[in-house]
Structures are given as structure tokens and as C-alpha cells.
Chains A and B, each alone.
Chain A
Amino acid sequence: MRSLAFGLVLWTAPVAAHHSFDAMYDRSKTQVMTGAVTKVEWTNPHARFYLDVKDERGRVINWNMELGSPNGLRRAGWNRNSLKVGDVVTVTVSLARDGSRLANAREVVLAGGKKVFAGTAGAS
């Protein structure tokens, strides 16, 4: 009986990081970047991928794109094969406050228009 009742209650915890999100990222500094995935790390406490993005001078900069935890991503229906090296993606990010080439990937869209990791970026 109880297990039936449990079945009606979805995983509703806030998608949050193990650290203060806003002490690390600036929600007001949003940027959209497009590039090719060079590496995917399916690790704790955050999954992340690396993206080659051309800057305004045409130089290729490798960005570190932080996601939520693998468990949070898995519960939302994604896994380590959802994004592959070589995939071209457009990413909407919040930039790191310290100005490094690090960002929180808030929305990731594959070249074909399919979204991955939607709503699981670790912000709360």
C-alpha cells in the first residue's frame, strides 16, 4: 500500500549544487556559445563537458561547462551517452564570477535542435 502511495510522489527535490550556486556563477551574465564537444566527464559532484568555442578574434577557446550531478541528470532521463565528443551544441550559460573559462550550462541544444540535460544545470 505504501509503495503504491510512494509511486505517486515524484522526485521533487530542488536541483541544487553542493555549494552556493550564486557565489560561483553570475545569473545575470548569460551568454550563448556554439562549438564542438571535446570531452565529457560523467563524474561527481558535477558532470561536465568541454567545448571548443571561437572568440571574436577567431581564436578557439576551450570552455569548461558544468552540469548537475550525474544522479540528477540520470533521474531526469539523461546518461553519459547523451552527449558525445564531436557533437556540435549551442549552450546557454551563466558565466563564472572569477572570469575563468568556466560556465554553468543552463541549456544545451544539439545541432539538430534536440535539447539535452534540460533543467538540470545545478542552479536552484
Chain B
Amino acid sequence: MRAAAIVLVVVLVAGCRGGGQPVPEPAAAAVPDFSGIWNPDRKFIYDINDALKPGETLPLQEWALNATTSRLSKDDPEALCLPTGVPRQAPYPWRIVQTPTHIYFLFEGNIHSYRQIFIDGTHPDDLDPTWYGHSIGRFEGDTLVVDTVGFNDKFWFDFAGHPHTEQLHTIERFRRPDANTLEYEVTIDDPGAYTRPFTLYGSHTAADTELMEYICNENNQDVEHIVGKDPRNKYSKDSGTQ
């Protein structure tokens, strides 16, 4: 009796949709879900050399190599509580918030800020340079592809001090092969600092935490005590390799 009533309601509702035969809605394309809290990938904190495929080297232009060699850790924008830029990660969790029109990366740390990605958007022609640039995203099957231009040249790629210019163009690819893994690769194309595009590879793991407030500039006493470069740095005199 109840089943019959439900069938009747369905028929009535379907019949009201424009007369004649009910036309089934086209199935919405399945959009992968990237939402959640993620741990940073250390390879994008300390030295992006760590994120290259084994055997590869960074195609630094001469001035970029010199800049990396001479930069001192006290001048790292991150030490000064400024944003990481892209693709650098801070040692704090971050959250992906996904809507049909935008994807937001909410960062707990360094700084307590966000990236916004316009789904199926286009880049304006007259961008002014910014720390996170202008990001547009599209889905290719199970992959989110994020194309970003309009960066400033202020952030460093890592503690090691790898530079870039305002010509930087990044293409990031995110995949979620299982609920707890966010595979990541980014192709960096910056003809102002590197002799060819190159690709970095990483992976984020799901974090069992919530974002917390982190206002880096509250009491930053560190900069005046930072001396030279990190001695583990490939480009540090202390390491003896450069």
C-alpha cells in the first residue's frame, strides 16, 4: 500500500515537469572531493631539491644560483612572518574547502591566510603581482588542475632560498587516491630564473586535527638572532658543498 503511494507521488511529480514524458536530468559529472585537513609535505618546506625525481637537478639560471647561494636565512620572508607563496608549505596543517565555484586552501601557519581557486575561471589580463597569484582550477577526471600566474617575486620557494620572478607560472595537479592521501605535483615555469620548466612531486596526508589560530607577527623575536644560512643547506659555506 505504502509502495503504491510512493509510486503515485513520483508519477505526479514527474508529470508536472513540463508535460509529456519525464526527461531524466543529465547526470552531473562526478567531481572528486578534496575537502579535509592536510599535513604539509616537508619536501616543500626545507629544500625543493628534495621534491625532484631522483637524479634530477634544478635548472637554475646563473643569477638564480648566485641568489640562492648568497641569501641569508634572516631575510627569508617566512621568518619575517610573510606568506609562503606557491608551492612552499609551512609546517602547519591546512584545510581544503571545496564549493562548486571556488576551492579555498585555508592555511593555519605562515601566514594565517588562504588561497582561492576559481573553478573554470580565466586569468584577467591586467593582474597586479601578489603572494599567491591568481589561480584557476579545472577537473580532469580524478585530478584537480590549478593554473596560477600573477605572482610577486618576494617569496622564497623554501628555507634554502630558491628564487623566482614575476614570470612564474605554476601548474599544480592534485589527486586523492584514497581518503588519507593527497598526491601533488607542480610544474614550475619561470623563464626569468630557470632555464626550463621542471616538476616537483609530493604527497600530503590527512591530519586528525582542526585548524587553530596562528598570528605569526604577535611576538616574532627570531629574526635578529638568525645567523647566516642553515648549515645543512646545500648552498651553505658551512656544508662545504658550494
Contacts and interface: CB of A to CB of B under 8 A. Distances in A.
B180 A9 contact: yes
B226 A19 contact: yes
Contacts of B79: 18-20
A12 B81 contact: no
B231 A12 contact: no
Contacts, number: 136
B219 interface: yes
Contact of A18 (B91, B207, B233): B91
Contact of B39 (A11, A69, A96): A11
A23 B40 contact: no
Contact of A20 (B37, B39, B73, B205): B73
B67 interface: no
Contact of B206 (A9, A19, A98): A9
A94 B31 CA distance: 49
B225 interface: yes
B109 A9 contact: no
B172 interface: no
Nearest to B35: A2
Given A5-B179, A14-B91, A18-B81, A23 B230 contact: yes
Contacts of A45: 81, 110, 214, 216, 218-220, 222
Interface in A6-63: 6-24, 41, 43-46, 48
A71 interface: yes
A81 interface: no
Q: Which of the listed residues A8, A13, A74, A75 has the most CB atoms from chain B within 10 Å of its own CB?
A: A13
A6 B209 CA distance: 9
Nearest to B180: A9
Given A6-B206, A9-B180, A19 B76 contact: yes
Given A19-B79, A20-B73, A44-B219, A7 B214 contact: no
B216 to A, nearest CB: 5
Given A6-B179, A18-B91, A98 B225 contact: yes
Given A9-B205, A11-B209, A12-B39, A18 B216 contact: yes
21 contacts: A6-B179, A9-B207, A13-B92, A14-B91, A16-B42, A18-B79, A18-B81, A18-B222, A19-B76, A19-B79, A19-B223, A19-B226, A22-B230, A23-B231, A45-B81, A45-B219, A45-B222, A46-B219, A66-B221, A71-B214, A100-B225
Q: 4 tightest CB-CB pairs across the interface, nearest first?
A: A19-B79, A16-B91, A23-B73, A43-B219
Interface of B: 36-37, 39-40, 42, 45, 72-74, 76, 78-79, 81, 90-93, 108-110, 159, 179-180, 205-209, 212-223, 225-233
